[in-house]
Amino acid sequence: MLSPSMAISRLAPCLRPAWRATTQLKFHPKQTSVNVIRSYASSTSAPVFNWEDPLLSSSLLTEDELAISDAAEKYCQDQLLPRVLQAYRDETYDPTILHEMGTLGLLGANLTGYGCAGVSTVAAGLITRAVERVDSGYRSGMSVQSSLVMGGIYEFGTAEQKDKFLPGMAKGKILGAFGLTEPNHGSDPGSLETTARAHPTKKGYLLLSGSKTWITNSPIADVLLVWARLRETGKIRGFLVERSVCPPGTLATPPIKNKNGLRASITGMIQLDDCPVPEANMFPDVEGLRGPFSCLNSARYGIALGTMGALEDCIARARTYALERRQFRDNPLARYQLVQKKLADAATDAAYGTLAAIQVGRLKDAGQATPEMISMIKRQNCDRALVNARVLQEIFGGNAVSDEYGIGRHVANLFVTQTYEGQSDIHSLILGRAITGIQAFV
């Protein structure tokens, strides 16, 4: 088994050149279970309740996963946290963050090869949790890169596409965006209108036209994975649009500003006007919604565990505030029943949501996860993170309006996580269909 330090080195290959040699034999990617509990059992002292991990979900993690989580948390707290307040205020996103993440091996971490770390689904989720503990916007930027684009290329791309894009994306040198949602088609991507038609003159090329909106990273992306309807078949296909080779006037990616959430991420449109794309940049086999849905499934998993990080940060902030702030006879707010109940509720939902996400991660690696499971944990964890964050925000009283306490930012962000990658009601209906066998979308 890897020592923790080695696990960290896995994540930061540049810092540990010998990594490949030392870990090749011992590392078991997607290792799904280590009975950490048993080793705890040998301790002689009575167990102590840990409010930061109330149901000891860490006992379900391998040592590698714990090490990866620690490394990611350290980076996020040390490097991301100090920037987020200003970035959110200014509504800016620093693309070097993706470079940093790439350097540390955090991008596409659960993919194998191409410079990716090859860690378990849960480990990758722990990375999203670490990032989202700081900010959901930062996590969104990473999710798009890792799950939606790298994951899509990894699963559906040709060998050439993988070789061309994945190594640079893993390093954060090539930035990606994922173009599915259109202005008129949010919850119902099956109706998308962007088209790809054969180039009338240039053989081996297609022309893409259409609009995508609410596309994280689009203004800074080098490669845009665009889902369009192939005119000759009417089927949805995936295309890798490389910005650097698009003729002027065929691709625009204007940013969308003045968002009231996820302001530390960058969001934009993708406007394609007869943009020529070589056939070699089309995903070879996947047709219909299976392609984008598979990518979304992976990203949604990251959201499910990621939002638990945001919620845990809200709990920690609210707890600290409640212990420090004193009202009425010099009692800390934490002394009051109404305050304690808010903390208890939130801690419970964080603990439950974490366990559920770990379980689905294990099932995913075992090939046993279904999309409905992802719908369940994405919906529930986003919803509960949001609800509890809002309630915890009440503890701050009037001070909640100051952005320096951070919780208002989480609240605003978490609302967006509830609406994207499947608004909660849509996931309710996905679950309802799975339970009853009857669809109720229309």
Specify whether 232 is catalytic.
Answer: no
By the rule CB under 8 A, 332 interacts with a copy of itself: yes
201 binding a copy of itself? (CB under 8 A): no
Residue 265 in tokens: 């991420």
| Token duo for residue 119 | 């860690």
**Interactions with a copy of itself, residue window 290-329 (CB under 8 A):** 315, 319, 322-323, 326-329
Q: Bin 397: left if φ > 0, else alpha if -120 < ψ < 50, else beta.
A: left
State whether the Cα torsion 331-336-342-348 is positive or negative.
positive
**Per CB under 8 A, does 415 bind a copy of itself?**
yes
Q: Considering only residues 170, 240, 339, 385, which one is a binding residue for a copy of itself as defined by CB under 8 A?
A: 339
Contact segment (CB under 8 A) with a copy of itself among 126-134, 202-210, 254-262, 281-289 equals 254-262
Which residues have a Cβ under 8 Å from the Cβ of 387 and sit 6 or more positions away? Answer: 349
Q: Is 48 in the site for a copy of itself (CB under 8 A)?
A: yes
| 239 sits near a copy of itself (criterion: CB under 8 A) | no
Which 119-158 positions form the footprint of a copy of itself (CB under 8 A)?
A: none
Interface pick for a copy of itself out of 75, 135, 408, 414 (rule CB under 8 A): 408
Q: What would the DSSP string read from start to end of 265-291?
A: S-EEEEEEEEEEEEGGGB-SS--TTHH
Q: Residue 194: which of 174, 221, 215 has the closest Cα?
A: 215
The three-point CA angle 188-189-191 to 5° equals: 85
> If binding is defined by CB under 8 A, does position 77 make contact with a copy of itself?
no
Q: Which member of 133, 299, 353, 388 binds a copy of itself (CB under 8 A)?
A: 353
Closest approach, Cβ 434 to a copy of itself, in A, equals: 5
One of 5, 14, 15, 33 touching a copy of itself (CB under 8 A): 33
User: Count of alpha carbons within 13 Å of 210, Cβ hemisphere only?
Assistant: 26
Are 209 and 194 within 8 A, CB to CB?
A: yes
Tokens 């968002």, located at residue: 259
The count of residues in the chain is 442
Residue 385 CB, nearest distance to a copy of itself (Å)? 14
Using CA atoms, how far residue 382 sits from 136, 148, 266, 405, in Å, is 11, 19, 21, 21
Give the residue, chosen from 177, 262, 282, 305, that forms a contact with a copy of itself under the rule CB under 8 A: 262
Q: Which of residues 161-190 bind a copy of itself (CB under 8 A)?
A: 181, 184-188
Rounded to the nearest whole angstrom, what is the least distance from the CB of residue 132 to a copy of itself in the complex? 17
What residues are labeled active site? 421
